[in-house]
Structure 1
Amino acid sequence: MRLHRLEVCAFGPYATRQVVDFDALGADGLFLLHGDTGAGKTTLLDAVAFALFGTVPGARAEAKRLRCDVAQPDAPTEVVLELTVQGHRLRIVRSPEYERPKRRGTGYTRQQAKASLTWLTPPPDGGTAEAVTRSDEVARVVERLLGMNSQQFFQVVLLPQGEFARFLRADTKERAELLERLFGTERFAAVENWFGSTRKARRAELDAKRAGVREWVARLTQAAGVDVPEAPDREWATALRVRAETGVAEAETEERAARAAWEQARERLQDRRNAAERVRRVRAAQGRLAELERGEQERSRWVAEVEAARRAATVAELAVDGRTVEDRLDRAVAEESDAATACRGLGFGEVDLDVEELRRHAGRLWEEAGGLAGLVEQAQRQHADRRRLAALDESIAYYAERIAVIRSKLDGLPDRVSELTEQRELAVEAEARLEGVRAREEELSALLDDAESLPELDRAVAAAREAENAAEAAHNEARSALLDVRERRLAGMAAELAGKLADGESCPVCGSDSHPAPAVATADAVSEATERAAAEHEVEADRKREAARAARYEAEHRRDAAAQRVGGRSAAELVEELADVRAERLRLAEYAGRSAALAAAVRSAKEEEQRLLAERTSHERSLNENEAERVVVAQGIEERTRILDDARGEFSDVAARRDHLLALGSALERLADARTAVIGARQQRDDRRRSMADAAGRAGFDTVEEALAAVRSAERIAELEDRIRRAADEKAAAAGVLADPELVGVSVDDDVDTGPAEEAERAARERAEAAVAAVRACERVARDVETLAREFEAALDELAPAEQEFVELNALTDVLGGQGQNARRMSLRSYVLAARLEEVAVAATARLRSMSQGRYSFVHSDQEDRLRTRGGHGLGLDVLDDYSGVVRSSKTLSGGESFIASLSLALGLADVVAAETGGALLDTLFVDEGFGTLDGETLDVVMGVLDELRAGGRVVGLVSHVEELRQRIPTRLRVRKSRTGSVLVAGG
């Protein structure tokens, strides 16, 4: 990473835009940022951190107060950083969230945080060159390029004030996270995870295969009907097969014997049943013949009844037709009576006329009704025209009324539109002036607040000055006291050292074992604790003095800003002017508030006028059309009325007269038809009676009634014939049975018992069925055992290599995870990180020994962490003190020793990372303070080491107020502070 340019505006103590050209500063590889305390040296490093990660190191991040208090209200708080990372140049712009004064009126408004990242060279991985504009996305891009987050950046690149030793004293977990991201060792953790997940998957697969073997063993033992053995194997499965096959052979032998015995028993039973069946057949045949002899007389009557019914069938057919003719005659007579009644009801009394006369009368009536058909249509048209005439009268009245109403509405509408338009123009003018009056009101209100607050601000300035003077006096007193205490301490230092001497021990000053005249403490001598207390009191007094000075500056700034805004006007003048402006604002607001309503009213009035005009024109047109149509319709009704009155006669209308004529013609025609039907029905009845008498005589009956009495239904005849036929068939069948040669010699008195044979056959059958079932069961068991044994052996074949593979995988996973045969008890990830840390320790030791003049060396410890922190095993880092030969914890180093150790560690880490990544990553280092803890000789050594860095192209920026550094480093950037904000002076 290499920085090129930094811009800050309204950030920290920098009220105006300041620019740092790192390319010029870092040309020699070493530069210095110096200035007074509180001027803003550390703020420049904070600006770099804020641009990269959106946060600043240390406790300043918790304050969340990055905007300059003395910046102009319109000056944006902004940090711009240009840098190159891994060969890609980019520009980052960030603004924090802050509150700025409102542009109008009093108070503050919140300005939201913003960030953007612009690629000045093609982005990595061929990605899009579009700017990144979300704060979190900008931070993620920076972290991905740098390979570290903000906290890790503060440990190895930008060493913040008061946090030099953070990486040196970091716990193992934090140190592991930093090393893993810097050296990209996530792949080793991924290897561990892969082996762990693979072992878990293989264990699950192995357990499934073992469960499968156990399942096949359980099913095989269940099928074979044996107990589960302790160690089932292939020999056990083979033994079960042999056992099952032997059982099948034994069951088949028993089945053959049982089938032979059952066959013999069935043959004996069949012989007994055949004998019993012959006796039964003889008994049944003789019994049926006796029964038929008893019913012979009844069958003779059935034969006679059938013959008589066949002879009377012709007479019966004629009788049925006769009844049909009689029914037809009755209906014709009834129809004639109804038709005559209908004719009388229609006013025709001559109903006794013959058929021809009735038909002539009906024809004349129909001709007369046909002549009235056209007049009926005219009558229907007359009714429709009268309804249309009434509808036209209603429409004419409606349109005349609507036209009158519309005319009354249109009379005052133009004047109303004109009045509303004028009011709308006044409201628009007021609306345009209102915003300016409001702004003026807010401005005057703010000025009035400033004018009223000036006396209080003057008092606050006076009080702040008094507090500053008091704090200045207190600090002077505390500093004088500290100098006096230090002077007395130095004067009594010999006595203090003499008090620690003991006989026989060397003096730490001269080295002598004898002490002839040790110094004696004077009455005004002070102790180290007294000196420390005086120094702390001086520091506290200085802090209060600076706080009082800042408070006085803040009070003067607020008072001067308020006085400048008021501009010499009094509060009374501002009150009077504000009252006039408020009255004007209220008047304009009243007019402006009506603007929208008046605009809507104008539009509505104009739209209503157009609508009424269009509606009036439409109604007038409809009124004229209806009046013209009414004249035509009324003339037609008058002419048609005279014609219809002549044609209807004594009836209500023409249609009623025509309906009467048609109805009477139809009634006469009906009467003629009914009278014709009566004559024909009587003739048919007489003919049918003569035919029936002739048919009865031919059939051998004396009368028609005798023939009809012998008639039987077809069902009855079929039933009698069936009975006769079945009786003859049964008699022939019984005779045929008795004539069968098999039944010769069989008597009805013979008795055959089949019980013993049936019992023997049932026992033999049950034995055979049991034998068959036993064979089937044995065969099923044999098949199941054979199938399950094959499956069991296949499962064993799959299990053996899986178990061998898992043993190897499990042992290797344990070794990678720091278990099993791993003697160091270190995981692969920890081992790799420990190796990297060991390289860092070696590189850092070269610098540490030089800075400590050969006293200290870094010692990498791979002992197991007693807290068992994940990933931290093997990441211990201690120091070897060559003076005592003891390995010490880094936490026991003093302030100056911690500083050079942290600086050496940061440089060593940068060297290793650069070698790992091709020297393209950590080529910039910032160190904020800490040089004040070094003595002159150590400072010379440290500066010599830093000078060596420039040969490799690395840039080191130092932030310090130590005066000696200004003499040693030619490239400097001074930060000068003032009341109006700090500024940068190049080469100062």
Structure 2
Amino acid sequence: MRLHRLTVTAFGPFAGTETVDFDALAAGGLFLLRGATGAGKSSVLDAVCYALYGEVPGTRKANRLRSDHAEPDRLTSVRLELTLGGRRLEVTRVPEQPRPKKVGRGMTTERAQTLLREWSADGTGTGDGTPGWRALSKSHQEAGEEIHRLIGMSRDQFCQVVLLPQGDFARFLRADSEERGKLLRRLFDTERFQSVEAWLAEQRRTHEAAVQAGRRRLRDLASRAEQAAGPGAEPAAGLVPGEDESAPADSDLTAGVLGWAAVLRGGAAEQLTVAGAALAGAEEAHRAAQRGREAAEQLADRQERYRQAVREADRLAEDGPARAADRQRLAAAQAAVGVESVLHLRERAAQVHRRAGEEERRHRTVLGGLADGPAGGDPAVGGRALANAQAGELVEAEQRLRAEIVRLEGVRDDERLCAELDGARAAVAADLRRAEDLAEEAGDWLADFEPRLAALQAEESAARDAAGRVERLDARRAELAARLAAARERDGLDVEIDHARPRALTLRAEALDARQYGLDLRERRLAGMAAELAAQLSAGEPCRVCGSAEHPAPARPAGEPVRAEDEERARRAQSAAEQAADTAEQDLSGLRVRRAAAAGAAGEEPAEALAGALAGLEREHREALRAAEGLGPAGRAIERLTAEQAVHRTALAGARERSAELAVQARTLHADQEKLGARVAAARGDAPSVAARAAALNRLASAVAALAGAVRTADEAAHQLKLADDELAGAAVAAGFADAQDAAAVLLPRPERERLEQRLDR
């Protein structure tokens, strides 16, 4: 990589445009950047790094590189020409920065820009075929990738290897070996090698600890084996090195332990063979003892069973009389078993007959409680008349009631329709009232429409006039505000000029005094030049002026001698004083120019008068603005009022038409309701409704049907009971009993009979 030319504008300490020609500087092979602190040496290197990578070294940010002394309209930029990989490139970068707006006042943000160009000697890509620069990329990413590819280093690597940080090289030369090592590690990022070295040391310590742990575990195993082998085993002292001996090699310790373990294993195998033979003899003796024990247990079991049989025979002989009585009782009970099932059937028939009689009496009570049915009903089919009727009469009464219910079902539809007509008449009447109210409301609203519209139009006109006045007041306000700002700037500049004028005069006087002092020193030095030359004469050496080796009367200084250093200091002081005076006069001239511009914009009126006029204009503007704010609401109110007028007109016409239709519908519904009402009243009688009369008749019919069913069930239960009595008497005679009561007296429950049978069987 070779740098050719660097151009910076408004960058770092450089307020203007500065150019560094590296080709001219490096003509001798090397060049030195030298200057006082703050002169901009590091900024030149920062500009090179920023041009290449879009970033600066260290922690500084690219958006903080703009010079604080640059003019607002001068953009910060860096352009670098260099050669990379045999290609001559030009990189131009403009960071993101604020700039004045091109239209209007205020500031806007200039976006960051990057331009990468390459020199084309054959004119390829230049457009006209002549040698020149051709554009490669305007993308930050593409330009950065291309430069990174050609350089082969990242920004951090470039700053560590190529751009040594300021002051680090001198510190490196003066530092001792330890500090120099720290500095080199920081510059060249050698921490990874330290990490590898630390990792290797840690691995060495880990493996050493593992080896020591293995040795300790091997010795522990040898000790445990010696304890397990017992005092009669081969001792380990002759084969395993001890801990007090010089540290043996791992192979010697392992070989000794394994050899000693082999000796122990051979001895243990012999002992195992002897113990196996002893164990086989003991097991054979144990099996013989078990066979003897089993034979003795079998004999004892047979003897115990014999003793139990003898005791059971004695007990049975003692219980003989009681067992004979139980056999007689069991025989009588078994003879009565044939009567048991028939007896159970007769009991169930008696229960059914009893429940049927109770159900019949309950239904007759319920039917008698229904009195004579609903008012207007037929007394012949009343509840009291049917409470004592027989089954046939009940069936006929139910049929008559069901026929009446069927007839009433047809009239119930007429009653329901009559009720619906009543509801429809009420709904039509309500709709008619609403339609009439709507027509009246729409008529009242339309009567008030014209006055309300006129008031809103007047309000809109006033708001429109106020809006025009606001526009005129805005222009006057802006003019007065600009004049007031200029007047205040003018007054402030007057104060600054009053302070700057005496300072400029003082600095100019000091510069003249310094100039006069320098002239005096020069005159004094010229006057004492002969004495200065005479002071340099030596006996026997020729004079540099006349060449004579003799110096009979050398000149003497007339007063305090003036040296070249004194004259140089006076010259520098004079230059500094003149520069300060020039700067002060330039500042004063700038203040006067700014004051003239401000006075031209503000006029000669005082700032207080302009401020008062602006305050009054602000009040007038606020009042007009409040009045103009009603323009939009007034227009929208007129639109809403006009739309509502059309709606109310439509509503009025619809309400009148709806009222006529509803009146005709109400008359029709009234006539239909009167016709149906007469037919329903005849069918209802004295009952509250046809449905109520039908429900009462339905309850009476249901009660009659239930009573008829209960009567039939009671008759059937009585017949079944008579059949059961006849069958029970026949079964008792067949079993040998005089009647069923004698059979029931000896009958035993089945569980007791089974227990008695089991006891007699034993």
**TM-score, normalisation: structure 2:** 0.71
CA distance in 2, matches of 1:201, 1:224: 34
Is 1:452–2:491 an aligned residue pair?
A: yes
Contact 2:418 2:673 (C-alpha < 8 Å) held by counterparts: yes
Is 1:346–2:376 an aligned residue pair?
A: no
CA distance in 1, matches of 2:680, 2:529: 154
1:243 is matched with: 264
> Is the deviation greater in 531-540 or in 633-642?
531-540
Identity level (%): 16
Offset, 1:201: 7.2
CA distance in 2, matches of 1:110, 1:423: 40
CA-to-partner distance for each residue in 1:710-757, whole Å, 9 max, x for gaps? 1122222222222233x2xxxxxxxxxxxxxxxxxxxxxxxxxxxxxx
> Is the deviation greater in 204-213 or in 681-690?
204-213
Query: 393, 398, 422: which one pairs with 1:386?
Result: 422
Is 1:119–2:124 an aligned residue pair?
A: no
CA-to-partner distance for each residue in 1:919-955, whole Å, 9 max, x for gaps? xxxxxxxxxxxxxxxxxxxxxxxxxxxxxxxxxxxxx
CA distance in 1, matches of 2:757, 2:750: 11
Query: 673, 676, 687: which one pairs with 1:651?
Result: 687
CA-to-partner distance for each residue in 1:51-103, whole Å, 9 max, x for gaps? 7547799xxx9x9883547x4x5x22433414224136233234696898999
CA distance in 2, matches of 1:202, 1:84: 49
Amino acid at match of 1:84: L
CA distance in 1, matches of 2:352, 2:366: 21
CA distance in 1, matches of 2:303, 2:26: 142
CA distance in 2, matches of 1:193, 1:468: 62
CA-to-partner distance for each residue in 1:329-351, whole Å, 9 max, x for gaps? 22232333333333333313434
The aligned runs of 1:448-487 (5 Å cut-off) are 448-453=487-492, 455-480=494-519, 483=522
Contact 1:488 1:525 (C-alpha < 8 Å) held by counterparts: no
Contact 2:732 2:738 (C-alpha < 8 Å) held by counterparts: yes
Q: 1:95 to 1:668 in 2, by over 3 A?
A: closer
Offset, 1:407: 5.4
Query: 587, 593, 600: which one pairs with 1:560?
Result: 593
1:292 is matched with: 316
CA-to-partner distance for each residue in 1:449-505, whole Å, 9 max, x for gaps? 233245434423421331222220342255346547867997777898899x9xxxx
2:234 is matched with: none
1:263 is matched with: 287
Amino acid at match of 1:446: A
C-alpha RMSD over aligned residues: 5.5
2:129 is matched with: none
SS at match of 1:120: strand
CA distance in 1, matches of 2:45, 2:477: 43
Contact 1:492 1:525 (C-alpha < 8 Å) held by counterparts: no
Q: 1:522 to 1:574 in 2, by over 3 A?
A: closer
Q: Can you give the 5+ residue segments of structure 2 that lack an aligned partner in the other structure?
A: 30-34, 120-135, 229-239, 244-249, 373-381, 545-550
Q: 1:260 to 1:179 in 2, by over 3 A?
A: closer
CA distance in 2, matches of 1:135, 1:721: 117
2:705 is matched with: 669
CA distance in 1, matches of 2:168, 2:629: 68
Amino acid at match of 1:371: R
Contact 1:85 1:146 (C-alpha < 8 Å) held by counterparts: no
1:196 is matched with: 197
Offset, 1:692: 1.9
Amino acid at match of 2:582: R
Offset, 1:170: 7.3
CA distance in 2, matches of 1:135, 1:442: 49
Q: 1:438 to 1:22 in 2, by over 3 A?
A: farther
CA distance in 1, matches of 2:498, 2:586: 14
Q: 1:379 to 1:154 in 2, by over 3 A?
A: same
CA-to-partner distance for each residue in 1:566-591, whole Å, 9 max, x for gaps? 22864327766665565445434544
SS at match of 2:737: coil
Is 1:131–2:152 an aligned residue pair?
A: no
Q: 1:589 to 1:13 in 2, by over 3 A?
A: farther
CA distance in 2, matches of 1:447, 1:382: 94
SS at match of 1:350: helix
Contact 2:453 2:641 (C-alpha < 8 Å) held by counterparts: no
Q: 1:673 to 1:444 in 2, by over 3 A?
A: same
Amino acid at match of 1:328: V
> Is the deviation greater in 646-655 or in 290-299?
290-299
Query: 363, 372, 388: which one pairs with 2:408?
Result: 372
Which has the higher relative contact order, 1 or 2, with Cα contacts under 8 A spaced 6 or more apart? 1
Offset, 1:120: 1.6
Q: 1:96 to 1:702 in 2, by over 3 A?
A: closer
Offset, 1:373: 0.8
SS at match of 2:605: helix
Q: 1:458 to 1:214 in 2, by over 3 A?
A: same
Offset, 1:648: 1.3
1:83 is matched with: 81
Amino acid at match of 1:642: A
CA distance in 2, matches of 1:482, 1:113: 55
Q: 1:605 to 1:685 in 2, by over 3 A?
A: farther
Offset, 1:304: 2.5
Offset, 1:374: 0.8
1:723 is matched with: 759
Q: 1:417 to 1:340 in 2, by over 3 A?
A: same
1:329 is matched with: 353
Offset, 1:649: 1.7
> Is the deviation greater in 220-229 or in 240-249?
220-229
Q: 1:563 to 1:676 in 2, by over 3 A?
A: same
Contact 1:10 1:68 (C-alpha < 8 Å) held by counterparts: no
Query: 728, 736, 746: which one pairs with 1:700?
Result: 736
SS at match of 2:92: strand
CA distance in 2, matches of 1:518, 1:179: 66
Q: Can you give the 5+ residue segments of structure 1 that lack an aligned partner in the other structure?
A: 32-36, 123-127, 157-162, 510-515, 728-988
